[in-house]
A and B are shown apart, each in its own frame.
Chain A
Amino acid sequence: MGKTLFDKLWEKHVVSGKKGEPQLIYVDLHLVHEVTSPQAFEGLRTNKRTVRRPDRTFATMDHNVPTKDIFNIKDQISRKQIETLRTNCKEFGLRLADMGNEEQGIVHVIGPQLGLTQPGQIVVCGDSHTATHGAFGSIAFGIGTSEVEHVLATQTIWQLKPKTMGIHLYGKLQEGVAAKDIIMALIAQNGVDFGTGHAVEFFGETVQQLSMENRMTICNMAIEGGAKMGMMRPDQTTFEYLKGRKYAPKDLDTAIEYWRQFYTDDITDYDTVIEFDVSTLAPYVSWGTNPSMAVPVNANLPKITDMNVQRAYDYMDLKPAIKATDIPIQWIFIGSCTNGRLADIQEAAHVMEGHHIAENVTAWIVPGSRAVKNAAEELGLDQIFKNAGCEWREPGCSACLAMNPDKIPAGIHCASTTNRNFEGRQGKNARTHLASPAMVAAAAIHGHFVDIRQKEAI
């Protein structure tokens, strides 16, 4: 019997506890943001506790940030939450990427970008999309605020070891089909809870060929399939990505030597395996109110089979059997921790270049971090978007969850590179359609989805 990547990582981090029971696990990196941390700091204060390892904790502001004028938070309660994080970081001696700071951005974008996220780590954050960091060969998962407090105080966390699931991705993606489509298709075909209770590892030739950005997109959405951890074996692509990053080890060779031990010995070591051929995939588009309610762009929307599907159709104001390409799109959003990295913005810009968005469409482009924004501007991508009639904004979570001023109006269909199409997610009664950056960009140009595999379609 061999071991999985997950087993090896887990074993290295057990501080105490028996197999089969919740075990105390050491946390290498704790990322903090303003929304899920205030009550945790308050708990520390009440109980006169300190942060055990400020050097392993890193905070940023992302969810509340207004992306039009970041220094002008009009919402008093939002402002209070931002200020509370600032005070807490000061009081407890934590590093903070503050508003406007070079390092600021969406927590799951800046962790990797700064080299904080590394292979072999346990990474936690009070945010379900922490799974993103698993792309580096780490166990990364979202936690609740009580757990945030626990990690701040002890640098450890109680967890019951999940089962393991291997997802074998093989085959070559067709041109125009993206990493986003792989994970959307997986969820569409297996449901929003197929990964519950499991740590999921994506492996195989397809994964090896993907860039770190694309790997992160896939791991990011593992949680939408119910898996709180998504991960991938660290390899040369991972190591190359980390080279020269601010907080990555300076002596990278020694670290790499250590990281190389983290891989799954054999496919039979997983509790469950899913085989998944990506070569026949079409770009995916979501039509309903959870990420599994999605279809290939050239397909018709499904029949009504139960009250959950009926409810989704009512909310989205759509009818079964229309084509995904018939969904009218009046708004588009490119950004978020799923698809707000430089590579994503580049893909979208590539489609947008030389075109103009349709007349009745509003388009927001929101880089995932200040560094992404700066890099994109250096490449002139902002100009491509502006010429096409899009709004180029400041970095933040923005309309991914719309708890800041960035909201999609009620009744509007929005093509979005985000990860959740829940009721009201992007604004009350807003209707979200998830898709890849290139698909969303093309939808902006046409006012509806098109199959971007057909060049003439754009």
Chain B
Amino acid sequence: MEAITIHKGTTIPLMNNNIDTDQIIPKQFLKNILKTGYGQHLFHDWRFLDDGTPNPDFILNKPEHQDATILISGDNFGCGSSREHAAWALKDWGFKIIIAGGYSDIFFMNCTKNGILPIILPQSTRDILSQLAPDDKITIDLPQQKVIWQDKMYAFEIDATWKQKFIAGIDDIELTLRQEEKISNFEKNMPIFE
């Protein structure tokens, strides 16, 4: 997993509440057996018109937003289906940071596995950040837990363990396998009903 410490980038606001993973990556793209290539389908049904051409009104299609790496959104982002394809698609498109009012628990976990940092900030702050110009850059300083724009700083909370994971970019499975003895002991002691 790619580590995140300090990130500087431009933003895209998509301020609806409850953006579900069916919107982030519609089901017709879940049939693939790879982890990559989903970026082109991110927000597909919003991004493309019925005839398949890009919807010029949708913000992800605007030329001035093509380099954005930070998504600003409403409450309860990533609700619904557990599909990790949603995280893969956001990452593949180029997003590294999401700033929302909250996340579904499963989507949050999926972000932690893919090096996308899900930040929670209150509506008032997100309202400010959603008004930035396409080339306004903001800085996310994970060690300091701050979002910085010009001379303003917005502090955010994050669980210490997830923070460490993002900073170190560690592979979970390797870490867990080092606890093999504990797992085996657990298995020896657990009740089994035939």
Chain A interfacial positions (CB closer than 8 Å to B): 15-16, 21-22, 24, 26, 35-36, 38-39, 42-43, 47, 49, 52, 63-64, 75, 77-78, 80-81, 84, 120, 126-128, 141-147, 149-150, 153-156, 158, 160, 162, 192-193, 196-197, 226, 228, 249-251, 254-255, 258, 290, 307-308, 311, 401-403, 420, 422-425, 428
Contacts and interface: CB of A to CB of B under 8 A. Distances in A.
Interface of B: 16-18, 20, 22-23, 26-28, 30-35, 45, 74-76, 79-85, 87, 102-106, 109-110, 113-114, 159-162, 172-173, 176-177, 179, 182-183, 186-187, 190-191, 193-194
A154 B173 contact: yes
A401 B18 CA distance: 18
B190 A26 contact: yes
A154 B175 CA distance: 10
A249 B193 contact: yes
Most chain A CB within 10 A, of B31, B87, B114, B161, is at B31
B109 A143 contact: yes
Contact of B45 (A143, A146, A424): A424
A139 B46 CA distance: 36
Grouping DSSP codes into helix (H, G, I), strand (E, B) and loop, the A interface class, with mixed when no group exceeds half, is loop
Contact of B114 (A146, A193, A311): A146
A153 B182 contact: no
B89 to A, nearest CB: 13
A145 B35 CA distance: 10
Given A196-B104, A226-B76, A424 B176 contact: no
A144 B82 CA distance: 6
Given A77-B31, A250-B194, 17 more contacts: A15-B179, A15-B186, A16-B179, A24-B183, A26-B187, A26-B190, A36-B83, A39-B35, A144-B83, A144-B110, A144-B113, A145-B35, A146-B114, A154-B177, A154-B183, A197-B105, A307-B16
A192 B162 CA distance: 25
A423 B83 CA distance: 16
A255 B193 contact: yes
Contacts of A155: 183, 187
A428 B172 contact: no
Contact of B102 (A21, A145, A150, A193): A193
A128 B106 contact: yes
B84 A145 contact: yes
19 contacts: A24-B179, A38-B34, A39-B35, A42-B35, A81-B32, A126-B82, A127-B81, A144-B110, A146-B84, A149-B173, A150-B176, A153-B173, A193-B102, A249-B194, A401-B27, A403-B27, A420-B80, A422-B22, A425-B22
B31 A424 contact: no
Nearest to A424: B45
Contacts of B102: 193, 196
A423 B45 contact: yes
Contact of B113 (A36, A81, A147, A154): A147
B113 A156 contact: no
A324 to B, nearest CB: 21
A77 B79 CA distance: 26
Contacts of B31: 35, 64, 75, 77-78, 80-81, 403
List 10 tightest A-B contacts by C-beta distance, closest first.
A249-B193, A146-B113, A38-B33, A144-B84, A403-B27, A144-B110, A142-B82, A255-B193, A77-B31, A128-B82
B193 A226 contact: no
B26 to A, nearest CB: 6
Nearest to A199: B105
Contact of B183 (A15, A36, A147): A15
A154 B171 CA distance: 13
A144 B87 contact: yes
Contact of A156 (B22, B176, B190): B176
B87 A150 contact: no
A228 B23 contact: no
Most chain A CB within 10 A, of B27, B74, B75, B186, is at B27
B173 to A, nearest CB: 5
Contacts of A64: 31
A156 B183 contact: yes
Contact of A423 (B22, B159, B186, B191): B22
Nearest to A77: B31
Contacts of B18: 192-193, 290, 308
B193 A251 contact: yes
A52 B160 CA distance: 29
A150 B173 contact: yes
Contacts of A146: 84, 110, 113-114, 172
A35 B25 CA distance: 13
Contacts of B87: 144
A22 B172 CA distance: 12
A126 B32 CA distance: 15
Contacts of A428: 45
Given A26-B190, A193-B102, A422-B22, A49 B173 contact: yes
Contacts of A228: 104-106
A361 B60 CA distance: 38
Nearest to B107: A144
B183 A402 contact: no
Given A15-B179, A84-B33, A196-B76, A424 B113 contact: no
A412 B22 CA distance: 19
A422 B80 contact: yes
B79 A226 contact: yes
Contact of B30 (A80, A149, A403, A424): A403
